[in-house]
């Protein structure tokens, strides 16, 4: 989601494999998403970004319980997710009689807005590439596990791959600022180097990218997404839209969006992006009405 993940999100992510081992790193990211795919808090953030942010940034407790309940989240877990999200500074509670309304904080609005731009603007293609890379040379001390973890997590989530220990690459020159922030937050900026570089010779770039990123794993994830949302039929447009966005939002973080020439033949990323846009367009209006209905029912004067 956001360009700069919260400390709580980073802490929850867990440790990763050593730098330079793309396969282990991608598998770690995949396992973490599987564990959190249907958690109350993960789905809550999807609901906040998809419905609450565009509607003014506020919603009642009962609306969250109703919608998360449709996704298999028990009421207790939904309430805990709201309280923990508030404790992390993303929500503020507002008592209105016997009811509670939750409002997005300014930080949450910025986070969700940035995340929405990245999620909905993600096309999984890079048609006009100038041939330049962001090259980061950074090594955290072996004894400083926190700095190493923060660096790996933040650079990976920014789309960087590591073909060798201490070396990070991105084909998106716009990620330079994110690399600088990640290094600064890890306390490594003054000890590291950032370059804008071009490939001038040596081995094939396609081989190097396979070392830096686990493209087979990413492709498998795209194929799963295509299979999961192949049908245009939605028995419940609200839950289907939430699941659609929740499943799609991982791809801007795990896919570096390499130039076409460096991708395996028949790469599924662009087909998955087109399917996401199509299904979102088909289901959004009906899902929005159902969310509004849940909010209307929640506004009745009943304890929350």
Give me the torsion for CA of 9, 275, 214, 29, rounded to 10°: 20
Task: Name the pTM for this structure.
Answer: 0.80
pLDDT, tens only, 16-72: 332 333 333 333 333 333 334 358 999 999 999 999 999 999 999 999 999 999 999
Q: Report the residue count for the chain.
A: 304
> pLDDT tens digits for 199-241?
999 988 888 999 999 999 999 999 999 999 999 999 999 999 9
Show the domains of the chain with their CATH numbers.
7-36+132-198 (no CATH), 37-127+214-304 (1.10.10.10)
User: 34: burial class by Cβ within 10 Å (0-12, 13-18, 19+)?
Assistant: exposed
pLDDT tens-digit readout, 236-288: 999 999 999 999 999 998 899 999 888 888 999 999 999 999 999 999 999 99
d(CA 190, CA 285): 49
Cα angle 43-44-45, degrees, rounded to a multiple of 5: 90
Task: For 6, list phi and psi in degrees, rounded to 5.
Answer: -70, 160
């Amino acid at each position: 989601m956001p360009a700069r993940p919260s400390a709580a999100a980073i802490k929850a992510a867990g440790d990763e494999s050593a730098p330079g081992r793309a396969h282990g790193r991608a598998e770690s990211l995949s396992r973490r998403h599987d564990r959190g795919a249907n958690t109350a808090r993960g789905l809550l953030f999807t609901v906040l970004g998809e419905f609450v942010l565009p509607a003014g940034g506020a919603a009642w407790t009962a609306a969250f319980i109703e919608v998360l309940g449709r996704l298999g989240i028990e009421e207790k877990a939904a309430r805990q997710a709201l309280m923990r999200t508030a404790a992390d500074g993303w929500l503020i509670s507002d008592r209105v009689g016997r009811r509670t309304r939750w409002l997005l904080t300014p930080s949450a609005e910025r986070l969700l807005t940035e995340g929405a731009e990245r999620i909905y603007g993600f096309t999984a293609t890079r048609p006009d590439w100038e041939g330049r890379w962001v090259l980061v040379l950074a090594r955290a001390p072996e004894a400083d596990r926190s700095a190493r973890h923060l660096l790996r997590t933040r650079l990976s989530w920014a789309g960087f791959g590591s073909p060798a220990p201490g070396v990070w690459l991105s084909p998106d020159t716009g990620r330079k600022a994110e690399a600088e922030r990640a290094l600064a937050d890890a306390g490594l900026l003054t000890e590291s180097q950032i370059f804008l570089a071009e490939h001038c010779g040596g081995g094939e770039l396609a081989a190097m990218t396979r070392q830096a990123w686990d493209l087979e794993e990413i492709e498998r994830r795209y194929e799963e997404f295509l299979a999961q949302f192949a049908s245009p039929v939605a028995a419940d447009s609200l839950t289907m839209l939430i699941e659609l966005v929740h499943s799609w939002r991982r791809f801007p973080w795990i896919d570096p969006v390499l130039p076409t020439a460096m991708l395996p033949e028949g790469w599924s990323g662009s087909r998955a992006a087109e399917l996401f846009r199509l299904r979102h367009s088909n289901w959004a209006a009906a899902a929005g009405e159902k969310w509004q209905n849940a909010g209307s029912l929640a506004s009745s004067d009943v304890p929350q």
